[in-house]
Amino acid sequence: MSNNLGLIGYDFVEFYVGSAKMWAYWHAKAMGLQVKGYLGPETGNRDRVSYFLEKNNVRIVLTSAVKPSTYDVASFVEKHGDGVKRWSVRVKDVGKSFESSLQNGGIPVRYPKKSEDENGFIEEAAIKLYDDAEIVFINRENYKGVFKPGYGKPVQNITISNEDTGLETVDHIVGNVRTNEMNLWANYLNKSLNFETFIEFGEGDISTKYSALLSKVVRSREGAPIKNPINEPFEGLKKSQIEEYIDEYFGSGIQHVAITTKDIISTIRAMRANGIEFLSTPPDTYYKMLKEKGWNIKENIDELQKLGILCDLEGKGYLLQLFTKPVGDRPTFFYEIIQRCEGAEGFGQGNFQALFESIERDQAVRGNLDKEL
């Protein structure tokens, strides 16, 4: 049997949260997404509400429990806080993709199921990911309605005045796992989804004066790129951001989602105007050195400095990136905004130290930098 799973690309990312309405408002106001669909009591679903938001190829679903008996949602939020429950991959044939995945070690969560209404049907199945997370196979080619059966048009008009953020599509999704789990999950994704290891960062590659981590990036061999870095802690003098995440999230899970833009300067300017807070900017010496390197960067470095945008040379091209502060109450999930220029494929290795030192400054403010004795 062929290892080809018929993967097409990312489809949607679903969060389980305490208040889907508030999270929908935040994503509409701050991120510039549009509320396109709603599922809840008004559409015949009595135990949960979900908002479907979209902008270009970015699709976000926000779900919260209506009743305490909605155990899958309520227990997730109680343990992990607001966070990503599942991300999905669009496939050509759900049954074949799911069966091929299981034959290569995928752990089933939900077997293929067809859902339909007057607008057509979709097919879905799911396999296990880290701890309580899932990967969904989905095919919506035969559905013409709002997102999925059960969803209708929003019952509330969440029309918000904001700046256009220009967000394009999901670039990669990052997981944080416990010590000695990185290789396990990298191998799992490589086998069950026919991925390959693209980049590996070992001891000393990602470190600061105080902390360090290990990382592997696995990616799809077919369809639009599906890229999933996996981080695990590495021994350091103080608590790393990965250790903080695992402590605060109570387990392994999705740390951040990276979203692309074609003009990061305009995007970050708009997102700041919309109220988003980003990690603290690097020192002036970072941009002084950037100018001295003489790289062929089209963007104005002074503008990058004003907005705190990081830059790194990647092969023949370069990338520009910036990270939000944690979105929820716990210091767990955040977004990355990234612009890939002239074919850059990496993840900003040259920015790792500046990025992690910025995160450590926030950790110190939270009182989470020092290790517990």
Whether residue 308 contacts residue 272, with contact meaning beta carbons closer than 8 Å, is answered with no
Q: Looking at the chain, which residues constitute the CATH 3.10.180.10 domain(s)? A: 7-139, 167-366
Whether residue 346 contacts residue 316, with contact meaning beta carbons closer than 8 Å, is answered with no
Least confident of 35-49, 255-269, 316-330, 351-365: 351-365
What DSSP letter does each residue of 332-369 carry, written as one string?
Answer: --EEEEEEEETT--S--GGGHHHHHHHHHHHHHHHT-S
CATH of 167-366, one of 1.10.1660.10, 1.20.120.1760, 3.30.70.270, 3.10.180.10: 3.10.180.10
The helix/strand/coil state of 268 is helix
Segment 163-177 shows an average pLDDT of 95
Whether residue 256 contacts residue 333, with contact meaning beta carbons closer than 8 Å, is answered with yes
Segment 344-370 shows an average pLDDT of 69
Predicted confidence at residue 358, as pLDDT, reads 65
Least confident of 10-14, 27-31, 289-293, 362-366: 362-366
Q: Torsion-angle region of residue 361: left (phi > 0), alpha (psi -120 to 50) or beta? A: alpha
Q: According to the per-residue pLDDT averaged within each range, which of 26-35, 215-224, 288-297 is highest? A: 26-35
Topology adopted by domain 7-139: 2,3-Dihydroxybiphenyl 1,2-Dioxygenase; domain 1 (3.10.180)
Residue 59 has pLDDT above 50, yes or no: yes
Predicted confidence at residue 206, as pLDDT, reads 63
Contact partners, residue 133, CB within 8 Å, separation at least 6:
84, 85, 86, 87, 175, 252, 253, 254
Predicted confidence at residue 340, as pLDDT, reads 93
Predicted confidence at residue 208, as pLDDT, reads 64
Whether residue 39 contacts residue 50, with contact meaning beta carbons closer than 8 Å, is answered with yes
Contact partners, residue 252, CB within 8 Å, separation at least 6:
130, 131, 133, 175, 176, 177, 178, 181, 185, 246
Supply the pTM of this predicted model.
0.92
Q: At what angle do helices 241-249 and 352-366 cross, to 10 degrees?
A: 50
Segment 81-105 shows an average pLDDT of 97
pLDDT in tens, 224-264: 889 999 999 887 656 678 888 999 999 999 999 999 999 99
**Alpha-carbon distances, residue 112 vs 10, 95, 366 (angstroms):** 18, 6, 44
